[in-house]
Homo-oligomer: A and B are copies of this chain.
């Protein structure tokens, strides 16, 4: 029995309530997509493995002539999930893959306007995240969210995601602004701005250990 984090993600959702994989795929797309993204084909494949291990059960149902399969967690599944939630399989740190940052890193090899374009594109890409956050946030504010009773922890997830999107957006905005100023600045001015970043961050007061 070889479970991946994907397995636990699905198993965890099944612990909330039974789902068809169609509904669950949608649920995951709107809820965990931005920090745990998986292809739909994966979402459909996983519960079969869980059933094979006895961690989930499948029940075939009919809507007229159309078949649908409801998956639910079993007692064994709940125990396995508890084990995982209790650790001690250490959770890995945040794992970021950010192609635009690679482009910034390599941008001295290209033309300056491409750097600005990359940064603008970062901001465009983030709108999806802001919209998703708006939808989720709105539902909780209005008290109509499907898992309203999870509001304490969902607000933590929301907090992180919105903070992240704001950070990325702010960073892209100030970096693009910097790059646009370059043609009108002296090299000394450009350098001074760069060095200020290295000396202001991280806030020396923050350092622990």
A residues apposed to B, CB below 8 Å: 5, 8-9, 12, 15-16, 31-32, 34-37, 81-82, 85-87, 90-111, 114-115, 117-118, 121-122, 125-130, 133-134, 137, 140-141, 149-160, 162-169, 171, 174-175, 178, 182, 190-191, 193-195, 197-199, 201-203, 206-207, 209
Query: How many copies of this kind of chain does the complex include?
Result: 2
Rank and list the top 5 A-B pairs by shortest CB-CB distance, nearest first.
A93-B125, A85-B110, A12-B106, A155-B194, A35-B98
**Residues in B whose Cβ lies below 8 Å from that of A121:** 90-91
Q: How far is the CB of A64 from chain B (nearest CB, A)?
A: 34
**Residues in B whose Cβ lies below 8 Å from that of A171:** 156, 159-160, 163
Cα A114 to Cα B110 with chains together (Å): 48
Does the CB pair B92–A191 fall under 8 Å?
A: no
Does the CB pair B94–A153 fall under 8 Å?
A: no
Other-chain contact of A158, B32, B102, B197 (Cβ < 8 Å): B197
Does the CB pair A111–B86 fall under 8 Å?
A: yes
Most buried by B among A31, A140, A152: A152
